[in-house]
Structure 1
Amino acid sequence: MTITHQDELDGLKAIGRIVANTLKGMGRALEPGMTTAELDEIGREMLETAGARSAPQSVYDFPGATCISVNEEIAHGVPGSRVISAGDLVNIDVSASKDGFFSDTGATFRVPPLRPAQERLCRDGKRATQIGIAQVGSGKPLAGIGNAVGRFAAQHGYTLIRNLASHGIGRSLHEYPEEIATWPTRQDKRRIEKGMVLTVEPFLSRGGLWASEGADGWTLYSEPRAPAVQYEHTVVATDKRAIILTLPG
């Protein structure tokens, strides 16, 4: 989607705030001993209270209101009976729609006690996302996002999952520009337009290169097996900088 009117920006800001608040609320509620289904129910109630619809459910018939991925699961984890334990890495991905506008956000949470390697990976995962967002501006190359994230990853000894891309969003969950690489690429010659709405969501890993589908047909795992984190925002390109839509408030 490319924004052309203020009411479109207002609608996107509204749903962006809803998914951000839902993610924040789920992160605060996260504790050892709860199941991923219980955590998902908190997200479901928050979205419904705000008048929003879960995008994975409404668009893809996903068996959960949110995606919750634990440890070896890196994305699209199905909420269920899995019990969250101390020391786990838990990725929560929240996407939803309201009044015809979609937004998407996510973060990886650490369940204490924390190990130094986990803390570094999460800290640098956040940095990678911010580096990617800094490349979003009208007239800039879309490939600049992945190239900048790739330089950061290489400098700090990380790998990137190379088949989970960022994407356009706005009037639907996934739309043009599709398959925005968050890893280095020379093939993509597309440019960012003023008002373009997209996600920035690199998957930073300590050895993982690809995402492979599990037996349930939804959950994704890193190949080779390795820890991975993801932090995601929905942003709008302007002449000066990116507007981050998915901030709580």
Structure 2
Amino acid sequence: MITIKTEEEIGLLRENNLLVSATLAEVAKHVAPGVTTLELDRIAEEFIRSHGAVPGFLGYGGFPNTLCVSVNEQVVHGIPSDYALREGDVVSVDCGTVMKGFYGDSAYTFAVGSIDPQVAKLLQVTKEALYKGVAQAKAGNRVGDISAAVQQHAESNGFSVVRELVGHGLGRDMHEDPEVPNYGVRGRGPLLKEGMVICIEPMINMGRRQVVFEKDGWTVRTADRKPSAHFEFAVAIRKGGPDVLTDFGIIEKAIS
């Protein structure tokens, strides 16, 4: 069931998602060769709790940590560990919060030092695909308009779209209806209505689109072990166009 949010509820969702953005910015300051993914997780948990929220992922469905940290060929849901980041890695950091009864959820893929130019292109195109999808997130359009925009941009640049994992509605639960795939056909799927809040999250692979679910029960990686990238926005649907609740500007200021 798709729930329509009130202005007050959208305000609480914005508050959560801005905290997620600030948390990712804090994490970004520490992304460097030699830093373990578990250390990034600790930094995020302390930051979230110090701002009056609790980690949205910790314990969610049994997930053991605050962040999903997915390195290189890991697509999503990587479990933080003693793995130390290396020069040339790319690392997707997905973060969630719960505060005042609502969730925040966003992801950003970071370069660790200097990375291969083709991998840099993958990150750039994935982020562009996110913005292309977001531009379609307005009342009167359909989910398929978002999906098709993401798919077209990724595939026209020679990359592939993961199909087993999708975006979703966001509210009092982290995963609400509707599902928001990153592939599809314009004019198809649920109608977008004023007051819906969704997460749009392209997961784009450098090689083939096929993925493997690891034995830990969480980590998803590319079948061909080529790199993957992941960016995610929370967006409120408005008649005049998308109202993005996430702020990548905070994160990118921390990187620069």
Q: TM over 0.5: same fold?
A: yes
Once the two structures are superposed, what CA deviation does each residue of 1:196-240 show, in whole Å capped at 9, x if it has no partner? 000010111122313321121111111233211011010000001
Distance 2:183 2:206 in 1: 14
Aligned to 2:146: 145
Distance 2:65 2:181 in 1: 27
Note the C-alpha offset of 1:55.
1.6
Q: How does 1:1-249 map to 2 (within 5 A)?
A: 2-177=3-178, 179-185=179-185, 188-247=188-247
Once the two structures are superposed, what CA deviation does each residue of 1:164-186 show, in whole Å capped at 9, x if it has no partner? 10101111000111x32111247
Note the C-alpha offset of 1:22.
0.3
Q: Secondary structure at the match of 1:96?
A: strand
Distance 1:4 1:151 in 2: 30
Distance 1:142 1:31 in 2: 37
Distance 1:190 1:128 in 2: 20
Per the alignment, do residues 117 and 132 of structure 1 end up closer, same or farther by CA in structure 2, a change over 3 Å counting?
same
Note the C-alpha offset of 1:159.
0.7
Per the alignment, do residues 190 and 5 of structure 1 end up closer, same or farther by CA in structure 2, a change over 3 Å counting?
closer
Distance 1:244 1:93 in 2: 17
Note the C-alpha offset of 1:187.
9.8
Q: Please say if residues 3 and 9 of structure 1, whose CA atoms lie closer than 8 Å, have aligned partners that are also in contact.
A: no
Identity %: 31
Note the C-alpha offset of 1:146.
1.1
TM-score by length of 1: 0.94
Distance 2:103 2:143 in 1: 21
Per the alignment, do residues 186 and 242 of structure 1 end up closer, same or farther by CA in structure 2, a change over 3 Å counting?
closer
For structure 2, list consecutive stretches of 5 or more residues without a partner in the other structure.
Answer: 251-256
Note the C-alpha offset of 1:59.
2.5
Distance 1:188 1:51 in 2: 40
TM-score by length of 2: 0.92
RMSD between aligned alpha carbons?
A: 1.6
Note the C-alpha offset of 1:103.
1.4
Aligned residues: 248
Letter in 2 for 1:160: V
Distance 1:243 1:26 in 2: 25
Distance 1:187 1:3 in 2: 21
Letter in 1 for 2:153: F
Note the C-alpha offset of 1:3.
4.4
Once the two structures are superposed, what CA deviation does each residue of 1:108-127 show, in whole Å capped at 9, x if it has no partner? 10011222112111111110
Q: Please say if residues 40 and 66 of structure 1, whose CA atoms lie closer than 8 Å, have aligned partners that are also in contact.
A: yes
Note the C-alpha offset of 1:133.
0.4
For structure 1, list consecutive stretches of 5 or more residues without a partner in the other structure.
Answer: none
Letter in 2 for 1:245: L
Q: 227-236 or 204-213: which moved more?
A: 204-213
Letter in 2 for 1:202: P
Q: Please say if residues 137 and 192 of structure 2, whose CA atoms lie closer than 8 Å, have aligned partners that are also in contact.
A: yes
